[in-house]
Amino acid sequence: MSECSMPTVPSVAASTATPTATFAEVADLPVMVDLLTAGRMLGVGRTTAYKLAQAGEFPCPVVRVGGVYKVPTIGLLRVLGLHTA
């Protein structure tokens, strides 16, 4: 897989920003998460997450399983700077 990088995403006003996750939530993630969960971890809203995934520009690898986008947790952790290996 290619290295994950953070694309330029539109800024969101603080009052409408999607809340990010706590360390406890990140520690409890399964091997793959849905696109909305990954977006929330990155502070990206639903619409932006889907637009980025459809354009192939989501900041980490995205796998399409049927009609559902899934994000491998390892790639998400790398983007968050939490991968230790």
Q: In DSSP terms, which residues pair with 72 in a beta bridge? A: 32
Q: State how many domains the chain has.
A: 1
Q: Closest Cα partner for 56 from 18, 4, 11?
A: 4
Is 28 contained in some domain? yes
Is 12 contained in some domain? no
Are 62 and 71 in contact, with CB atoms under 8 Å apart?
yes
How confident is the model over 7-47, as pLDDT tens digits?
Answer: 444 444 443 444 567 777 777 889 999 999 999 999 999 99
Instruction: Collect contacts of 26-31 with beta carbons under 8 A, ≥24 apart.
Output: 26/77, 26/80, 26/82, 29/73, 29/76, 29/77, 30/73, 31/72, 31/73
Domain region containing 39: 22-79
User: Does the pLDDT value for residue 83 go beyond 50?
Assistant: yes
Is 15 contained in some domain? no
Is 35 contained in some domain? yes
Is 66 contained in some domain? yes
Split at pLDDT 50, 70, 90, the class of 60 is very high
